[in-house]
Amino acid sequence: MQIILSILLGVSLSAAAGFRIFVPFLVMSMAGRAGFLTLSPEFAWLTSTPALIILIVATILEILAFYIPVVDNFLDLIAVPAAAIAGTVLTASVITDISPMFKWTLAIIAGGGVATAIHGVTTALRGASTVMTAGLGNNVVSSAENVSSTSISILALFSPILAIILLLVIIYSILKLRKRRKRAKTTINREDDIVIIDEEGSSE
């Protein structure tokens, strides 16, 4: 049972990395220093003071960077491999008492895969926001990502199962929002076509 909870914890933290890469690392580092979370021995350095300071700075810079127009879209592109690596490391760091080969295989497939998938969804949402709002709505997307990453990371420490449920709710909400925007865009295009037809008809 403990192994299953560790896997769910790793997957939850990896999902949080899909929204923001450094937030789950910071939460994990603070939890480890407080003795609330036990990390795999090879990742114990994440609880060190230098690591904590670096993670705090990196988290602040990452959050602020996603509020800068154009820069946020650029970061989405370069964060694809970073999210995969982060998800893999996060999952591997909390799974203990199993063979290294199985741990890293699971970390790459589950952790890296989940982080990459979540990042892909948020990138698509930001891209749609950029097109439809000329980037003006991207700050709302960035704020939602910050809240999602922080909430999932913290909740995962107390209940990985609830963190997974929260993740599913967030994904469902994102997909539903994207569907609404596609419908709205289709409706606008149809109205434009009708206007053009009317204009051509009146000119005749």
Residue 84 in any domain: the answer is yes
Residue 49 in any domain: the answer is yes
C-alpha–C-alpha distance, residues 154 and 105, integer Å: 25
Q: What are the average pLDDT values for consecutive 10-residue runs of the chain, which has 204 residues?
A: 85 95 96 91 93 97 93 89 94 88 91 94 87 85 94 94 92 80 60 56 51
Residue 147 in any domain: the answer is yes
Residue 204 in any domain: the answer is no
Task: Give residue 133's pLDDT.
Answer: 83
Global confidence as pTM? 0.85
Contacts of 197 (CB under 8 A, 6+ apart): none
Residue 47 in any domain: the answer is yes
Domain coverage including residue 38: 2-177
C-alpha–C-alpha distance, residues 60 and 62, integer Å: 6
Instruction: Tally the domains of the chain.
Output: 1
CA dist 90 → 8, 159, 196 (Å): 11, 16, 54
Residue 146 in any domain: the answer is yes
Task: Give residue 203's pLDDT.
Answer: 45
CA dist 25 → 45, 46, 52, 93 (Å): 12, 8, 9, 10
Task: Give residue 190's pLDDT.
Answer: 57
Task: Give residue 186's pLDDT.
Answer: 59
Task: Give residue 135's pLDDT.
Answer: 78
Residue 170 in any domain: the answer is yes
Task: Give residue 185's pLDDT.
Answer: 59
Task: Give residue 194's pLDDT.
Answer: 57
The radius of gyration of the chain's CA atoms, rounded to the nearest angstrom, is 20
Residue 50 in any domain: the answer is yes
